[in-house]
Structure 1
Amino acid sequence: MSIYQLICTIISFILNSFLVWLILARSPKLTGKYKWLMLYTTCFEIFWGLFDLPAEIIAHSVGCAFIVFRVNHPDSLLTSDNSSWIVLIYTAIFGASMALFASHFVYRYGSIATNFGEKYTSGCKFSILFFIPIITGMWWSTVVRVWFWPNTQMDDYTRNLIMETVGVGIENISYIGAKFYNQEKRNLTSHFNTPAWIGVAQMWFMVISSMGCVFGFGALCYLRLAKQLSIASNAANNLQVQLFYALVMQTAIPLFLMHMPITVYFLCPMLDLDFDFASSFVASTIALYPAIDPLPNILIIKNYRNATIQLFRSLLCRPKNKYRTNQTSTIHNNGPRSFSQTIN
């Protein structure tokens, strides 16, 4: 357990717990059912951070193979079989995170495109959005269990790597992993390891589908919001803009800290490249992700930002300004109507 990972876990727990309180206590009424999807994501990130710390998962790629493992210490409470399940659950959580924000963008588009919302995200159909990450996580872990489970070929190929990395034998770890190529010693040729490619193809499909939903529905949201704001500016639209930009920023964080590093992590062994920096980078960014992902919601959504400022004022014993004034401005449209907006 590294100090870095411990710090990330503590920050993640504090910020996400604070965001849970903000969502439950300070969400605008116009947020509607979306606050439950926000709460779902926040609780997921709390669980992710708390699970990641004791799991002590290590990821490495070497040559044409990748391996994700944890060391079975002699004084551990878990048997090696139970430890294998920890690795499997870890991969399921990671897989679920790939689809988490796709659900958000689908709902956000449904909330501003009423025809789409009534057809796909209203009523009991709203609950489907909560099951998409769960189904993706189950599929991801099934792929791992079927195609990336330990075998003698992987044992032989990664034995030296494990000894150099953590100083224990291959029999003292629980791992999942795969080789993308099998080498023949006689003529020094290599050929595709079919199970590994079948497994990684399914993972690529899940990642690309998730990203397709994020970018596709994100673009549709932006175009629809731009059209609405050109017609009128009101409290509902302002909240929609805040939620949209918070979601964009909240999605950009796992995109850069998880999706892109894991892409490099998979591509290196697929191209038979030894790029050890990718391994250490993936471990660092995955630990950092739940620690900073709550910040966009806290800082961008006005009600949450004001509540945070009030909390800091209270902690610093600084009273609020008694003589706070409201400034009113009038927004004129190209059309025949004009709209008044109060700027706090």
Structure 2
Amino acid sequence: MYYISGFEILYAILNAIVQGHIFSHGPACIFFRNFKHSYFGRAEGFYLLVAYCNSFGLSIALFGVHFIYRYGAVDNVFRKKFLGGKKLLLLFLLPIFYGIWWCLVVAICYRSSSKSDDFMRIPLLENYDTRVEDISYVIIWFYVANDEGILGPKWTTFIGVANLWFMVTSSLVCVIFFGIKCYRKITRALKHSKMSSYYARSIQKQLFQALVLQTLVPVVLMYVPFGVLYVFPMLNIEVGFISTFVTATIEVYPAVDPLPTMFIVDNFRKTILCGCKMPNKKEEVSEAQNRRQTVS
């Protein structure tokens, strides 16, 4: 959880610095920032965008790693065998590896060029009243017209997409596989536990529900919008300003992500709704007695 919280803080800071925008036109989509009133020039702005894209690659791996770690917390055999010692460090380094990997993919496969400048010049002027020379951008350009005006695939873009789908698929497989195993392990443990009271079951149920919803948040706010963003240009469908909704969903993600835990887990929810009201001694004694009676 500390790992994820630290990532979200850094992501929010980087998002405030970059202030990026997404725009789709025909078979291409760009992620850009205006550097006209910025300390960063066009070249520096490009690498700033690449660094921002690092957060997406890191987040993809982070969700899978989170479920692997959660399963290790409930299965001692798995934890000792696969997450002991330096193996745990390797698990935490995996998101960093994914982030660097995605940075390289973006820098190599989605780099802008003079040809892409000419392609995006008029659409940017018409929709944003912005000159292409005043922005830094990365471009996902699926089909390029040849001298005869016939569209042909830009293979570097499709190679980048193949890398993306491998990263997303590997992450989702970990989430689904270890999420199911974690649920079964907890359910089985509660059935054979002497502490299998309503209170214990309720806590485990709340934590698992929070974990599931906390996983659905990035799926809804990041994975699905990015998928839509790739699909329309790949099919050469003009969406224009509609693509800007992706920017909005990405920006609200850090604020929405902690909400499931805050409002599903009873203790957190009561603390928030009661304004951090401290219980008196009589209430503490009464609550402790009720718990003992429930357990017995």
Normalised to the residue count of structure 2, the TM-score between the two structures is 0.89
Choose from 38, 44, 48 the match for 1:82.
44
Determine if contact 1:261/1:278 at 8 Å carries over to the other structure: no
Map 1:18-97 onto structure 2 (within 5 A).
38-73=1-36, 75-97=37-59
Residue of structure 1 in register with 2:180 after alignment:
219
Q: Which residue number in structure 1 is paired with residue 126 of structure 2? A: 164
CA distance in 2, matches of 1:286, 1:305: 25
Question: Does the 8 Å contact 1:108/1:244 carry over to 2?
Answer: no
Ranges in structure 2 where 5+ consecutive residues have no aligned partner: none
Shift of 1:277: 5.4
Q: What residue number does 2:295 align with? A: 341
Matches within 5 A, 1:268-307: 268-276=232-240, 278-305=242-269, 307=271
Does residue 1:190 correspond to 2:154, yes or no?
no
Q: Is the contact made by 2:31 and 2:137 (CA closer than 8 Å) also made in structure 1?
A: yes
Matched letter for residue 341 of structure 1: V
Aligned-partner Cα distance in 2 for 1:164–1:130: 45
* 1:313–1:320 Cα contact (<8 Å) kept: no
Map Cα deviations across residues 97-153 of structure 1 (whole Å, 9 max, x no partner).
Answer: 112111110011122222221111122322223212111111001001111111122
What do residues 15-38 of structure 1 show as CA deviations (whole Å, max 9, x unaligned)?
xxxxxxxxxxxxxxxxxxxxxxx0
| Aligned-partner SS, 1:96 | helix
1:120-139 to structure 2, matched below 5 A, reads 120-139=82-101
In structure 1, how many angstroms separate the alpha carbons of the residues matched to 2:164 and 2:43? 25
Deviations 1:186-232 (A, max 9, x none): 2x432211111111110111111111111111111112222222222
The one-letter code matched in structure 2 to 1:66 is C
Q: Tell me the residue number matched to 1:29.
A: none
Q: C-alpha separation between the residues in 1 aligned to 2:68 and 2:214?
A: 15
Taking a change above 3 Å as real, the CA distance of residues 280 and 302 of structure 1, as seen in their structure-2 partners, is: same
Which residue of 2 is the match for residue 20 of structure 1?
A: none
Contact 2:35 2:135 in 1 (8 A): yes
CA contact (8 A) 2:110 2:157 kept: yes
Distance 1:277 1:321 in 2: 55
How far residue 246 of structure 1 moved from its aligned partner, in angstroms, is 1.9
Amino acid paired to 1:182: V
Instruction: Write out per-residue CA displacement over residues 279-336 of structure 1, whole angstroms, 9 at most, x where no aligned residue.
Output: 12101100110001111222334554455456x144xxxx635542232587xxxxxx
CA deviation profile, 1:247-280 (whole Å, cap 9, x unmatched):
2111110010000000000111111111235412
Match of 1:110 in 2: 72
Matches within 5 A, 1:6-17: none
Q: Secondary structure at the match of 1:60?
A: strand
Q: Distance in 2 between matches of 1:250 and 1:273?
A: 32
Q: Which residue of 2 aligns with 1:320?
A: 279
- The whole-number CA distance in structure 1 between the counterparts of 2:201 and 2:67 is 16
Alignment length (residue pairs): 289
Please tell me whether the aligned partners of residues 265 and 278 of structure 1 are also in contact (alpha carbons under 8 angstroms): no
Name the residue aligned to 2:226.
262
- Give the aligned partner of residue 208 of structure 1: 169
Provide structure 1 residue ranges, at least 5 long, that are not aligned to the other structure.
Answer: 1-37, 331-339
Identity among equivalent pairs (%): 35
**Secondary structure at the counterpart of residue 130 of structure 2:** coil
SS in 1 for 2:279: coil
Separation in 1, partners of 2:295, 2:9: 38
